[in-house]
Amino acid sequence: MSDAQSVSRRAFVAASAAALVGLTHKGERGVRGGFVEDGGAAGHRLRDNASLGPVRERRRLPLVIVGGGMAGLSAAWWCEKHGFRDYLLLESGDEAGGNARAGRNDVSGYPWGAHYVPVPGKQAMLARVLFEDLGVLRNGVWDERTLCHSPQERLFWRGEWHEGFEPMLNDSAADRAEFRRFQDRLDGLRSSGEFTIPVSRGRPARSALDALTLAQWLDREGFRSRALRWYADYAVRDDYGTAARDASAWAGLHYFVAREPDEKGPLTWPEGNGWIVKRLLERIGTRVRTGATVRAVSRPHGGRVVVVRTEDAEFTADACIWAAPIFVAARVIDGFGASPPLTTAPWLVANLTLREWPDERGSAPAWDNTIVDSPGLGYVNATHQRLSRPGGPTVWTYYHALVQQTPLEARRALRAMSWRDASEFVLSDLERAHPTLRRVVERVDIRRYAHAMARPEPGFLSAPWRSALAASRGPIWYGHADLSGLSVFEEAQDQGVRAARRALAHIGRG
């Protein structure tokens, strides 16, 4: 275990233990907040197979989409784009958006999860089409307001902030040499054409890299620099909610290799990818129904129609797009079979509302602010894109992927935590870089994700269940980021649209 991992493990275990025994922490006078709705109640009713209410509505229609995250919304966007509106999208949460949901208060909009999209390269054609539709890309030029302003990222290391990660990665001659060698290895992998975004555009070989963890690959290649190892681990915690010791080396390297090396950006908005959700919902209009948890999907007598049952309604459709997580499909879809052997990552996201910017040392505030050897992933600043003078009220979104324990242990600890314990955990982490934080924080609102995303563990590329679902011949098509195994915007969009294309062709509207 690296030093960074042991520090993080100690910190989280201490906070979980405090949660379990209900310790009292130093109180912050006047700090308010709470847990926000996280879909847990509906999820538990589904898990426990709670009895269903009477059917109050029956409807026959050509297409039902299950799940209103980025994948389901993208499927609906594709239908709308092709003039097809005779569908209904059923979303379990009280708002659509899934992991890309957002919130707003008097100070700013802010993300509850996904907060950026890397500037889509040439392969990410669909993402480019969407951004043209939304007016973010015009005649090949990206809207300056959505490209992340400088400085984009900074790192708190050795007691002060530094712009970018390079100062740490190039600290000693040995670090510098390893970092250069790492980049050479990435350049070599980039030219293989194996690492694409979205994954479906490439031809991932049954790569030997998918048989190793990222940590094993770093060992094998002789990368020992503590800074480089921390950086690699940070990257996979940040994108996949999975530590380097658990993530497939192929998935970990994909993070570094698949994107354009000299991209500008990323694209970001105060409310993160919630901005995209809002624009998509404007197009989808009344064809989305929230608070509608799908409890059963069946094909009576193995026939041509699909019956989709919520708590109080029943829809009979010619086609169904399943855009909800795959572990849920195994519980809901009749005849789906055993749940695929995938594990899911628990996360904690906190939005801190600040009266003013707290004290700090070193380089100027950036959009993305990371603390070395922190159990968390740092915070993004919702007011970063404003042109007005910084320093006034703002909202920080703090991210923490719970990789220190097994997913099951971490989920239990997360559930057992009181809001006070959780906010104390967040504040103690951040005050290492901002000693006066408690004086300026007004609210700490927290969202707990029990199952945020599938973890890309070794073997995920060649998992037979994934190719079997992708090859479905209908009338149920699968389109969720789980299908690619990498939970990022471009993959969710790609999977949602692929499913929509097939479903529309099936009902003769493609």
Ligand X SMILES: Cc1cc2nc3c(=O)[nH]c(=O)nc-3n(C[C@H](O)[C@H](O)[C@H](O)COP(=O)(O)OP(=O)(O)OC[C@H]3O[C@@H](n4cnc5c(N)ncnc54)[C@H](O)[C@@H]3O)c2cc1C
What letters, b where the CB count within 10 A reaches 16 and e where it falls short, cover 306-320?
Answer: bbbbbbebbbebbbb
User: Does the footprint of ligand X cover residue 407 (CB under 6 A)?
Assistant: no
Which of 33, 68, 375, 376 forms a contact with ligand X (CB under 6 A)? 68
Q: Which residues in the 460-479 window bind ligand X by CB under 6 A? A: none
HSE-CB at 449 with a 13 A cutoff on CA atoms is 25
Q: Largest Cα–Cα distance of the chain, in whole Å?
A: 70
To the nearest whole angstrom, how small is the minimum distance from the Cβ of residue 162 to ligand X? Answer: 22
Looking at the Cβ atoms of 275 and 449, the one nearer to ligand X is 449
Taking CB under 6 A as the binding criterion, the range among 12-20, 107-115, 254-262, 356-364 that sits at the site for ligand X is: 107-115
The helix (H) or strand (E) run that includes residue 62 is: strand 57-66
Reference 227, options 373, 380, 392, 430; nearest CA is 373
How many contiguous H segments (helices) and E segments (strands) does the chain have? 16, 18
User: Does the footprint of ligand X cover residue 307 (CB under 6 A)?
Assistant: no
Here's the x/- map for ligand X, 344-363, by CB under 6 A: it reads as: ---x-x--------------
Which of 102, 107, 130, 324 forms a contact with ligand X (CB under 6 A)? 324
Do the beta carbons of residue 478 and residue 484 sit within 8 Å? no
Looking at the Cβ atoms of 17 and 50, the one nearer to ligand X is 50
Measured in whole angstroms, the distance separating CA 438 from the mean position of its chain's CA atoms is 28
User: Does the footprint of ligand X cover residue 65 (CB under 6 A)?
Assistant: no
Q: Which residues in the 18-47 window bind ligand X by CB under 6 A? A: 39, 46
Closest-CB residue for ligand X? Answer: 69
Looking at the Cβ atoms of 11 and 288, the one nearer to ligand X is 288
Taking CB under 6 A as the binding criterion, the range among 158-166, 208-216, 318-326, 498-506 that sits at the site for ligand X is: 318-326
To the nearest whole angstrom, how small is the minimum distance from the Cβ of residue 161 to ligand X? Answer: 21
Which of 93, 198, 378, 407 forms a contact with ligand X (CB under 6 A)? 93
Question: CA-CA distance, 433 to 418, in Å (whole number)?
Answer: 24
Looking at the Cβ atoms of 225 and 397, the one nearer to ligand X is 397
Looking at the Cβ atoms of 25 and 279, the one nearer to ligand X is 279
HSE-CB at 446 with a 13 A cutoff on CA atoms is 24
User: Does the footprint of ligand X cover residue 410 (CB under 6 A)?
Assistant: no
Quote the strand ranges of 253-393, DSSP E: 288-289, 294-298, 306-310, 313-322, 344-354, 368-371, 379-381
Sorted by sequence, the CB contacts under 8 Å of residue 415 that are 6+ apart come out as 40, 448, 450
To the nearest whole angstrom, how small is the minimum distance from the Cβ of residue 296 to ligand X? Answer: 9
User: Does the footprint of ligand X cover residue 398 (CB under 6 A)?
Assistant: no
User: Does the footprint of ligand X cover residue 441 (CB under 6 A)?
Assistant: no
User: Does the footprint of ligand X cover residue 71 (CB under 6 A)?
Assistant: yes
To the nearest whole angstrom, how small is the minimum distance from the Cβ of residue 419 to ligand X? Answer: 18
Which of 411, 480, 498, 506 forms a contact with ligand X (CB under 6 A)? 480
To the nearest whole angstrom, how small is the minimum distance from the Cβ of residue 96 to ligand X? Answer: 6
- As given in the structure block, the two tokens for residue 454 are 């599938």
To the nearest whole angstrom, how small is the minimum distance from the Cβ of residue 26 to ligand X? Answer: 28
Do the beta carbons of residue 252 and residue 223 sit within 8 Å? no
To the nearest whole angstrom, how small is the minimum distance from the Cβ of residue 226 to ligand X? Answer: 26
Reference 256, options 287, 214, 227, 294; nearest CA is 214
The secondary structure of 228-271, three-state, reads HHHHHHHHHHHHHCCCCCCCEHHHHHHHHHCCCCCCCCCECCCC
User: Does the footprint of ligand X cover residue 70 (CB under 6 A)?
Assistant: yes
Taking CB under 6 A as the binding criterion, the range among 89-97, 229-237, 256-264, 408-416 that sits at the site for ligand X is: 89-97
To the nearest whole angstrom, how small is the minimum distance from the Cβ of residue 113 to ligand X? Answer: 4
To the nearest whole angstrom, how small is the minimum distance from the Cβ of residue 339 to ligand X? Answer: 14
Taking CB under 6 A as the binding criterion, the range among 11-19, 64-72, 161-169, 204-212 that sits at the site for ligand X is: 64-72
* Beta-bridge partners for 89: 65, 288
Residue carrying the six token digits 């991992």: 5
Q: Please, what sign has the CA dihedral across residues 328, 332, 336, 339?
A: positive
User: Does the footprint of ligand X cover residue 91 (CB under 6 A)?
Assistant: yes
To the nearest whole angstrom, how small is the minimum distance from the Cβ of residue 154 to ligand X? Answer: 17
To the nearest whole angstrom, how small is the minimum distance from the Cβ of residue 70 to ligand X? Answer: 4
Which of 5, 16, 92, 383 forms a contact with ligand X (CB under 6 A)? 92
To the nearest whole angstrom, how small is the minimum distance from the Cβ of residue 290 to ligand X? Answer: 9
Q: Which residues in the 270-299 window bind ligand X by CB under 6 A? A: 293-294
Question: CA-CA distance, 226 to 394, in Å (whole number)?
Answer: 34
Q: Please, what sign has the CA dihedral across residues 69, 74, 79, 85?
A: positive
* Beta-bridge partners for 308: 297, 315
What letters, b where the CB count within 10 A reaches 16 and e where it falls short, cover 384-407?
Answer: bbeeeeeeebbbbbbbbbbbbbeb
* Residue numbers at the binding site for ligand X (CB under 6 A): 39, 46, 66-72, 90-93, 98-100, 113-117, 293-294, 323-325, 328, 332, 347, 349, 399, 449, 452-453, 480-481, 487-489, 492
